[in-house]
Amino acid sequence: MRSEQEMMNLVLGMAEGDERVRAVTLEGSRTNPNVPKDLFRDYDISFHVTDMQSYIDQPDWIDAFGERLIMQMPEAMAMFPPDLGNRFSYLMLFKDGNRIDMTLIPIEEKDDYVKEDKLMQVLLDKDGLFPNVPPSTDIDYWVKRPSAAFYADCCNEFWWVSTYVAKGLWRQEILYAQDHLNNLMRPMLVKMLEWEAGVRTDFTLSVGKNGKFLDRYIPEERWQKLMATYPAGSYDSVWEALFLMGELFRETAEYVAGELDFLYPLEEDVAVTAYWQRVRELSPDAKSM
């Protein structure tokens, strides 16, 4: 596997030898001092260029980065509409295990770019495009203190969507039930756990993408309970996950409410949990309980 120095030398060597590249910046985990170093950190590189189309017309320019295992070009895909505007990206995983996420950015967008992310470092600047860039920080990704309205909405969404899970299980539609459990309920549960982490650290940290560092900041008991809410492929396991998620959400939300002087909607919680129980008792698989 090529070393970090080898990869940086390769990227900067290409940029220095190409007049179209006026600046090179680095973003992401490699600029964040709070992210542990490991072999799987990507190189999130941006080339700020004068002639975008010339790169797109001759895509083999990226071959110089090495032999690829697989690549994705999001802005050239039909299934996923592009969302980078005038920019173009190449997500490249190489056979030696390194990965570069390379984004080409028109030089005209330099002023917009510099405002977008405080996790940015300038590696090369031929024309002084990015003067006085402050040290990189993940402050934009810190857990935000919720308002009372945000908190209330999170609670309401969790308990409301849970009724779809119960309905799906009664109907023996396990994919429908799992989808609502994992894609709609779970984000509300994780959000509440993030707020607990924020409360415990005075809202001065990031729990990482997808909450990947959440286990560092919440009690071990909560973390283990969260892990137990991921069900297997049976109706009983989804029912058990649903009730466990309700228990975990309740205790976490009550803690957050107590610390932030919010009101937890216990009446709504009690009513919906009783509804789950009634639906489960009427379910075709109730005899297996």
Would the pLDDT of 77 be above 80?
yes
Q: Which amino acid is at 212?
A: K
Would the pLDDT of 67 be above 50?
yes
Take residue 43 and report the two structure tokens written for it.
């190189």
What is the arithmetic mean of pLDDT over 56-71? 94
pLDDT at 127: 95
121 confidence band (pLDDT: 50, 70, 90):
very high
> Do the Cβ atoms of 46 and 113 come closer than 8 Å?
yes
pLDDT at 152: 98
Would the pLDDT of 230 be above 70?
yes
What structural domains does the chain harbor? 4-140 (3.30.460.10), 142-288 (1.20.120.330)
> Do the Cβ atoms of 279 and 168 come closer than 8 Å?
no
Residue 286 vs residue 207, higher pLDDT:
207
278 confidence band (pLDDT: 50, 70, 90):
very high
Total-model pTM: 0.86
pLDDT at 288: 45
Would the pLDDT of 287 be above 80?
no
pLDDT at 286: 58
What is the arithmetic mean of pLDDT over 17-39? 90
What is the arithmetic mean of pLDDT over 80-100? 91
Give me the chain's average pLDDT, please.
93
Among the ranges 76-80, 119-123, 268-272, which has the highest mean pLDDT value? 268-272
CA distance 38 to 27: 16
β-sheet bridge partners, residue 122: 25
CB atoms inside a 10 Å sphere around CB 271: 11
107 confidence band (pLDDT: 50, 70, 90):
very high
Would the pLDDT of 89 be above 50?
yes
CA distance 47 to 158: 42
> Do the Cβ atoms of 180 and 161 come closer than 8 Å?
yes
CA distance 194 to 205: 10
Percent of the chain with pLDDT over 90: 79
Would the pLDDT of 280 be above 90?
yes
**Helix residue ranges per DSSP H, the chain:** 4-16, 52-57, 110-114, 148-170, 174-180, 186-200, 220-227, 235-260, 266-282
Residues 6 or more apart whose Cβ sits within 8 Å of residue 139: 118
What is the arithmetic mean of pLDDT over 214-219? 94
Would the pLDDT of 81 be above 70?
yes
What is the arithmetic mean of pLDDT over 4-32? 94
The pLDDT tens digits of the residues spanning 38-60 come to 888 899 999 999 999 999 999 89
Using the Cα atoms of residue 18, residue 21, residue 25 and residue 26 in order, give the sign of their dihedral.
negative
CA distance 130 to 120: 11
pLDDT at 289: 40
What is the arithmetic mean of pLDDT over 66-73? 95
